[in-house]
Amino acid sequence: MTLIDSDATLEPLEFAVTKNLTAKNPSERAQILADPGFGAHFTDHMVDLCWSQKGGWHRPRVQPFGPISLSPAAAVLHYGQEIFEGIKAYRHADGGVYTFRPDQNAKRLRRSARRLALPELPTEYFLQSLRELIAVDADWVPSGDDQSLYLRPFMFASEAFLGVRPANKVAYYLIASPAGAYFTGGVTPVKIWLSEHHARAAKGGTGAAKTGGNYAASLLPQSEAYENGCDQVVFLDPDGNVEELGGMNVVFVHADGTLVTPASDSILEGITRDSILALAEDRGHTVERRSVSLQEWRDGVASGDIVEVFACGTAAVVTPIGELRAEGFTDTQPTGTLALELRKELTDIQYGRAEDRHGWLVRLDA
Ligand SMILES: *Cc1c(COP(=O)(O)O)cnc(C)c1O
């Protein structure tokens, strides 16, 4: 697999490594890994890299995980110039630590960077940052069923400047957080609230970039979902078509076996979705990426033409949607077996239990 595109000639970075002298001991770590939850515990180290207009990417470091020193005038705190990624590391039965399609996350981080007027981190540096963190924190990759180490790369405007323009100083960080099985006691269908008064993305906006602002915009409607007894929100795009959930893409399964997923330039293109659809195509399913109106969804469910609806993303992998609720209606969604079959097929590849025929896995600890 070719991981490197335009930056094939870059020299690897020389990371300065400072070990954490107060790292968790093996029994403290084992206690956390026994029930890590999601996003609540962090490994002993983090990686960081600076960028400046003059010096480009510089000062690569591996440091103890801890607070970041930032000027109160740092542009990110005022104007939200920030992007991130989400990717997992998996422990295989042979003890090795693998990750899944990291070249795609690197590419998406570059696309997000362009939209937020941030510098593009070379793909090779992105991959090196993952390897450097695993080199010091590999023991944090859990080995339990459906457990993983969630890797969170992010980049933000660190320049102390209140004028409005792209920052001349930027920081890239990588932190990691052990993650437990998303569903304990079996995958259960989620209830989805239709957000009719709030959008997450505007036409020509930042919907296709993985940036904190999109999430900030989703929090109020998410609270509305909870108040209405739902787990997640589905957003409509600027034309009123089905877009996605706050952090997961949506796929509709039709009676003839066709899988349809919304396409629009306000949707974040998920790597999980792309992989699930590739596995479905391998099985002979037709895949369509096109606009899907709310009416088409509701009519399809009513007529029986839509036989399954699911959401997908790195954190939960694949989640069947069991109900769509809105102010004026509640539509029970049909449930089938394809979503869970594809989920199993994908996680079997990720955890090394099935052949990686697409060459999606990359070993990080060797
Ligand atoms: C990250 C994200 C997804 C899912 O992408 P994956 O690459 O599958 O994890 C979907 N929607 C939004 C808004 C996201 O931020």
Give me the DSSP letters along 113-180.
HHHTT-PPPPHHHHHHHHHHHHHHHGGGS--STT-EEEEEEEEEE--B--SSS--SEEEEEEEEEEE-
**Would you say the pTM of this structure is higher than 0.85?**
yes
* Residue 248, ligand 1, Cβ within 6 A: yes
In a mutational test of the pocket of ligand 1, which residue from 237, 272, 274 has the highest number of ligand atoms less than 8 Å from its CB? Answer: 272
Is residue 129 located within the same domain as residue 201? no
Q: Does some domain include residue 211?
A: yes
Extract the tokens encoding 59.
């000062």
Q: Which of 179, 203, 224 is the last residue of a domain?
A: 179
Residue nearest to atom 2 of ligand 1 (CA): 247
Q: Does the pLDDT at position 195 exceed 60?
A: yes
Q: What is the mean pLDDT of residues 134-149?
A: 97
pLDDT of residue 6: 54
With cut-offs at 50, 70 and 90, classify the pLDDT of residue 181: confident
pLDDT of residue 128: 97
Is residue 126 located within the same domain as residue 217? no
User: Does residue 248 contact residue 311 with C-beta atoms inside 8 Å?
Assistant: yes
Ligand 1 atom with least separation from CA of 207: 13
* Residue 270, ligand 1, Cβ within 6 A: yes
Poorest-confidence range of 161-170, 181-190, 195-204, 266-275?
181-190
Is residue 74 located within the same domain as residue 200? no
In a mutational test of the pocket of ligand 1, which residue from 112, 116, 314, 318 has the highest number of ligand atoms less than 8 Å from its CB? Answer: 314
Ligand 1 atom with least separation from CA of 249: 10
- Ligand 1 center to 65 CA (angstroms): 25
Domain holding 162: CATH number?
Answer: 3.30.470.10
Is residue 221 located within the same domain as residue 312? yes
Is residue 195 located within the same domain as residue 338? yes
Q: What is the mean pLDDT of residues 313-339?
A: 96
pLDDT of residue 1: 37
Q: Does some domain include residue 363?
A: no
Residue nearest to atom 1 of ligand 1 (CA): 247
- The Cα–Cα gap between 77 and 85 comes to 19
**Beta-sheet pairing, 148-157 with 87-91:** antiparallel
Domain holding 252: CATH number?
Answer: 3.20.10.10
- Ligand 1 center to 247 CA (angstroms): 5
Residue nearest to atom 6 of ligand 1 (CA): 270
Q: What is the mean pLDDT of residues 324-338?
A: 96
Q: Does some domain include residue 362?
A: no
- Ligand 1 center to 112 CA (angstroms): 12
Residue nearest to atom 5 of ligand 1 (CA): 270
Q: Does some domain include residue 229?
A: yes
User: Does residue 99 contact residue 364 with C-beta atoms inside 8 Å?
Assistant: yes
CB atoms near residue 65 (< 10 Å) = 16
Q: What are phi and psi of 56, to 5 degrees?
A: 65, -150
Give 153's strand partners.
Answer: 174
Extract the tokens encoding 204.
């020509």
Q: Does the pLDDT at position 28 exceed 90?
A: yes
Q: Does some domain include residue 37?
A: yes
User: Does residue 20 contact residue 65 with C-beta atoms inside 8 Å?
Assistant: yes
Ligand 1 atom with least separation from CA of 108: 7
Q: What is the mean pLDDT of residues 158-179?
A: 98
Is residue 107 located within the same domain as residue 194? no
Is residue 240 located within the same domain as residue 320? yes
pLDDT of residue 7: 57
Is residue 195 located within the same domain as residue 153? no
- The Cα–Cα gap between 314 and 285 comes to 22
- Ligand 1 center to 209 CA (angstroms): 10
Q: Does some domain include residue 356?
A: no
Structural domain of residue 344, as residue ranges? 190-349
Ligand 1 atom with least separation from CA of 210: 15
Nearest to 311 by CA among 192, 195, 193: 192
Element (H, E) at 92: none
Extract the tokens encoding 226.
């909870």
* 49 CB-near residues (< 8 Å, 6+ apart): 13, 57, 58, 59, 60, 61, 121, 125, 129, 171, 172, 173
Provide, rounded to the nearest whole percent, the portion of the chain with pLDDT above 90. Answer: 91
User: Does residue 87 contact residue 100 with C-beta atoms inside 8 Å?
Assistant: yes
Provide, rounded to the nearest whole percent, the portion of the chain with pLDDT above 70. Answer: 97
* Residue 314, ligand 1, Cβ within 6 A: yes
The total number of structural domains that make up the chain: 2
Q: Does the pLDDT at position 193 exceed 70?
A: yes
Token pair 């004026």: residue = 328
* Residue 207, ligand 1, Cβ within 6 A: no
pLDDT of residue 186: 73
Residue nearest to atom 13 of ligand 1 (CA): 247
Instruction: Give me the chain's average pLDDT, please.
Output: 95
Q: Does some domain include residue 254?
A: yes
Is residue 70 located within the same domain as residue 107? yes
Is residue 129 located within the same domain as residue 273? no
Looking at the chain, which runs of residues are DSSP E strands?
16-17, 45-52, 56-64, 82-84, 87-91, 97-100, 148-157, 169-179, 190-195, 232-236, 242-245, 249-254, 259-262, 287-290, 306-313, 317-325, 330-332, 361-363
- Ligand 1 center to 11 CA (angstroms): 31
- Ligand 1 center to 208 CA (angstroms): 10
Q: Does some domain include residue 4?
A: no
* 285 CB-near residues (< 8 Å, 6+ apart): 257, 258, 259
Is residue 132 located within the same domain as residue 171? yes
More confidently predicted of 366 and 273: 273
Is residue 218 located within the same domain as residue 117? no
